[in-house]
Each structure stands twice: as C-alpha cells, then as structure tokens.
C-alpha cells in the first residue's frame, strides 16, 4: 500500500513537470522571460510589484496573479496599466495553497503573450507547496520579510533552496525588530549557500532599483 | 472523471473527520482541552506560547509542535519545562503544509495525556490548508500579524471563518506601519462577523494576559 502511494505522488510530479515543459515551450515561442514570485502571506510581493513595474523602461511586463479567491492584488496592480490576469485556485480542494503547471497552463489563453517580454507569476502566499511545483518559469524569486524572523530558511528549506534570488523585504522596520540579520544570512547560507540576496524596502523604495535591474537581466539570457 | 475526483476528495475529508472524532474521544477520556493554533509563517505563534505558557497557574499544559522539518520551535519552548512533542510533516509529499487528524493521531502515544489539562497544537505556518483539517480540537485560534496587511481575512477567508479567536499580534509595530486597523476589522467582520479578537504584542507582553484568560476558559467548558 505504501509503495503504491509513493508511485502516485511521483506520477503527479511527473505530470506537473511535463506540463511545465509545455508552458516553457510556449513562453520560448513568444520570447518571454518568466519569474515565479513566492513568499509567505503578507511578505510584500504585491507592493514590490507595484514599485518595480512602474519603471521597466521599454520592457513590456505582465502579471499572472495567483490567489485562493478574490482579485484584491490584481485590482491593486490595475492602476499600473500592465496586463494582469487573475488565477483563482478555489475550484480545488477548499482552495489550493499553490499554483501548479496545469493551473498556469489553463490561464495562458487569457494572457496576451504576443505583447509581453516579461511575465511575473505572483504565487499563492505559502512557504511550503509552491516550492514543489515548477510552472515553466526561468527563475524563482522568494520574498522574505524581516518581520517573519531569522529562522525561516531552516524551517522552510525547500522554498529557500529552489529559488535563484531572495529579496529580504521590509528592512525599513529593522530598527523596531529584534531581527538579527547575521543569523538570518547564516541560516540562508546553510540551506542555499551563496544564493543571490537583496535588502529591500518595497514600502520606502530602498533597494527596489537593484531588483528591477535583476528582473531586466532575467529577460535577456546570457 | 471529474466526478470521481470530487468523490475522492470527499472521502479524504470524511476519513479526516472520522479520525478527528477518535482523537476527540481520547482527549475527552483524559479530560484535556485542545487548542489548534494557526497562522502564516512568522506571525508569532511560538513567541506567544513562550509568553503564555509561563503563567498558567496550576493548569498543566503541553504542546504538540507541527513543522515541516526541524525542531526549532520545540527547542525554544523546552526551557518552559512543559511537555513538547515534535511532529514533522516531511515524510509526506515534499513536506506537508498542514497537520491533519491522522498526523496528530500518530503523535498521541508520544504525548503524556494523563498529565495534561490543556494541549496546544501549533500548526504548520500556512493560511490555507490547516483550515481544512479538523484534528479533534475544542477551539481554533489564529494569529494574524499586523505586518501582514489588512487584506488577509478577504484573501484567506476559510482560515478566518473557521476559528473561534483571532489574535491580532505585533501591535507594538503599529506606529511604524501603514496598517489601518479599522480596515482590517471591517474585513474580518465581513468573513466572520463578531468573531472574538484580541490585540496583542507577544514581544512586549501587551494583551497576553487576556489570551491566557481565554485559554484557561477553554479548559473548563461552560
């Protein structure tokens, strides 16, 4: 019985990877770079996008907004005049806690792929399951707020291990927290040695320019 | 095919509820009150427990600590000299993002039920799936940090709807945030009208006494 169960799980991941490759082929056909943006709830993904999407020069960006339900983040981004597509996961089992490749695939017909150079997929706020599902992205960014504490890389290692960039957000609050940055960076390097990291305040704008430059560099592969 | 899938999900929830009732019977047999403590990652569940478990008078409390992996929170609570049982979810599919009734049941032999009046189950940090699985608890508490923003009840309604108490934590940071408490409470009342709520700073201790009194009242049913 146990072996059957494991096999089912592997099949599910295989199916996800197969569909992620199909997504990847479609993105390549349209010469689009795709970033999967992940974090815990309330870490500041949408505020970061509000800041950075204002100022991408001639790069045409769009957003695929993943939420359990509602369109609160998509509404916030609407004022930026970039194409935003809402993807709700609530037809699933009480609301899926992550996006998978098939959910993203189901949204592709609604995304103006011909008119984009960069697509940011804002995943559901969760530090566990989103890390398990590739969706066809070029790069994964996770936003970790300093208000969440220094231990998060150790407690959610897969999330921190499978991303290309860690945005350490809400640094404007550091004077008011007991957060020990050295301890956080030590934990981060324990699970993902040397991963790129940036210190940002999406609220004040500090460090956002570096994130913008990083996004633009994803767009044009070396 | 679609109908078969829905049926499997219902069966899984049925099985969970069956096992949750078995847990409940065991807790009742030992006259233990059980609280399921839930939140997003880093909202302050463990810090709140560190504060409140110091000062429960003659009530004998224990903790079941749910984490994807590691024992960081259990280690923090060890100094309080209450029984702490670690339950890791990582044998599951890349690490389960929640506790279910069967996971809790598997831990019962490790918990000194004869010596407890109150068991706090600290769930995995996640605002989606933990809300879907009853584990045999008397009451559900969710901790919502003001650093996460005012929109969380609207974005994760099931979590806010299925709890008996919302602890609004980190209020010491309010002077440094753009958080609009009225907007948060309006969102909370939209998804769970009139649910009990407390304003707390686990860091400074403000409001912790009220939470302690609430926990003690759960212990002795009316």
pTM over 0.90: yes
Give the closest of B69, B152, B177 to A157, CB-based: B69
Q: What are the chain B neighbours of A173 within 8 Å (beta carbons)?
A: 147, 173, 176-177
> How far apart are alpha carbons A17 and A23 in whole angstroms?
10
Shortest Cα–Cα distance, A177 to chain B (Å):
8
> How far apart are alpha carbons A39 and A161 in whole angstroms?
13
Closest residue, chain A, to B169 (C-alpha): A147
Confidence of residue B4 (pLDDT cuts 50, 70, 90): very low
Higher pLDDT residue, B107 or B9? B107
> How far apart are alpha carbons B134 and B13 in whole angstroms?
9
For residue A171, the 8-state DSSP code is G
Q: Chain B interface residues facing chain A, Cβ-Cβ under 8 Å? A: 9, 40-42, 67-70, 72-73, 93-97, 124-129, 131-132, 145, 147-149, 151-152, 154-158, 170, 172-173, 176-178, 203
> How far apart are alpha carbons B199 and A164 in whole angstroms?
37
CB B135 within 8 A of CB B110: no
For A34, the enclosing helix (H) or strand (E) is strand A33-39
**What is the per-residue pLDDT for B30?**
97
Tell me which of A83-97, A192-206, B127-141 is least confident: A83-97
CB A8 within 8 A of CB A123: no
Q: Which residue, among B178, B161, B152, B177, has the nearest Cα to A73 in the 3D structure?
A: B152
Confidence of residue A192 (pLDDT cuts 50, 70, 90): very high
**What is the per-residue pLDDT for B2?**
42
**What is the per-residue pLDDT for A94?**
61
Buried/exposed code over B107-121 (b: 16+ C-beta within 10 A; e: otherwise): bbeebebeebbbbbb
> How far apart are alpha carbons B60 and A33 in whole angstroms?
56
Mean pLDDT of chain B: 92
What pLDDT digit, counting tens, does each position of A84-129 carry?
A: 999 999 865 568 899 999 999 999 999 999 999 999 999 999 999 9
Q: How many CB atoms lie within 10 A of CB A143?
A: 27
Which three-class secondary structure string do you get for A195-207?
Answer: CEEEECCCCCCCC
What pLDDT digit, counting tens, does each position of B89-124 carry?
A: 986 556 889 999 999 999 999 999 999 999 999 999
Give the closest of B70, B132, B152 to A41, CB-based: B152
**What is the per-residue pLDDT for B220?**
54
> How far apart are alpha carbons B181 and B128 in whole angstroms?
23
| A159: Cα separation from own chain's centroid | 10
Cβ contact B126–A128 (<8 Å): yes
> How far apart are alpha carbons A70 and A134 in whole angstroms?
24
Mean pLDDT of chain A: 92
**What is the per-residue pLDDT for A90?**
83
Give the closest of B42, B124, B157 to A152, CB-based: B42
> How far apart are alpha carbons B165 and B93 in whole angstroms?
31
Burial of residue A147, with CB atoms counted within 10 A of its CB: 0-12 exposed, 13-18 middle, 19 or more buried: buried
Burial of residue B17, with CB atoms counted within 10 A of its CB: 0-12 exposed, 13-18 middle, 19 or more buried: middle
What pLDDT digit, counting tens, does each position of A153-185 carry?
A: 999 999 999 999 999 999 999 999 999 999 999
Burial of residue A164, with CB atoms counted within 10 A of its CB: 0-12 exposed, 13-18 middle, 19 or more buried: middle
Query: Which is it for strands A61-67 and B139-145: parallel, antiparallel or unpaired?
Result: unpaired
Helix (H, G, I), strand (E, B) or coil at A219: helix
Cβ contact B41–A94 (<8 Å): no
Q: Provide the token pair at B208.
A: 């912790």
Q: How many CB atoms lie within 10 A of CB A7?
A: 10
The torsion region of residue A57 among left (phi > 0), alpha (psi -120 to 50) and beta comes to: left
Give the CA angle between residues A155, A158, A160 to the nearest 5°.
Answer: 80
> How far apart are alpha carbons B145 and B206 in whole angstroms?
14
**What is the per-residue pLDDT for B105?**
97
């Amino acid at each position: 019985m146990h072996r059957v169960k494991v096999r089912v799980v592997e099949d599910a991941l295989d199916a996800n990877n197969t569909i992620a490759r199909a997504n990847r082929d479609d993105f390549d056909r349209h010469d689009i770079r795709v970033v999967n943006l992940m974090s815990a709830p309330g870490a500041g993904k949408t505020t970061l996008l509000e800041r950075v999407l204002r100022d991408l020069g001639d790069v045409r960006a769009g957003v695929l907004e993943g939420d359990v339900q509602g369109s609160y983040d998509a509404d916030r981004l609407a004022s930026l005049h970039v194409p935003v597509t809402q993807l709700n996961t609530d037809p699933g089992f009480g609301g899926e806690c992550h996006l998978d490749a098939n959910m993203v695939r189901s949204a592709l017909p609604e995304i103006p792929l011909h008119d984009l150079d960069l697509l940011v997929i804002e995943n559901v706020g969760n530090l566990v399951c989103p890390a398990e599902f590739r969706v066809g992205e070029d790069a994964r960014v996770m936003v970790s707020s300093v208000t969440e504490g220094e231990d998060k890389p150790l407690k959610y290692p897969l999330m921190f291990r499978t991303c290309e960039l860690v945005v350490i957000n809400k640094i404007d609050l550091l004077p008011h927290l007991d957060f020990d940055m050295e301890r956080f960076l030590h934990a981060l390097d324990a699970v993902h040695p040397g991963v790129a990291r940036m210190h940002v305040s999406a609220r004040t704008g500090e460090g956002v320019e570096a994130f913008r430059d990083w996004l633009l560099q994803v767009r044009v592969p070396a």
